């Protein structure tokens, strides 16, 4: 956590956009994101980066390295 603020770790400087897609494709993307344990926006950002030969967003890399603690 950053400072004393509750909630998830900030993801850094990002730009919010609205994306419209065919309803028939939305479920496919959402399911793929869920399988990877990601929200849809993060999944789309990752796929766009890959499609354009860009590095993975750093916050996605961090999430892969920081597994959730196991319940006891």
Q: Where are the domains of the chain?
A: 19-54
pLDDT at 24 over 80: yes
* pTM check: above 0.85: no
Helix, strand, coil percentages in the chain from 3-state DSSP, rounded to 5: 45, 0, 55
Least confident of 33-37, 57-61, 62-66: 62-66
Q: C-alpha 60: how far from its chain's center?
A: 6
| Arithmetic mean of pLDDT, 36-48 | 94
- Confidence class for position 5, pLDDT limits 50, 70, 90: confident
């Amino acid at each position: 956590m950053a400072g004393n603020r509750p909630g998830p770790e900030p993801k850094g400087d990002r730009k919010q956009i609205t994306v419209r897609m065919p309803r028939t494709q939305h479920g496919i993307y959402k399911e793929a994101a869920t399988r990877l344990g990601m929200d849809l926006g993060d999944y789309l950002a990752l796929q766009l980066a890959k499609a354009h030969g860009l590095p993975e967003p750093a916050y996605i890399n961090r999430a892969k390295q920081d597994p959730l603690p196991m319940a006891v």
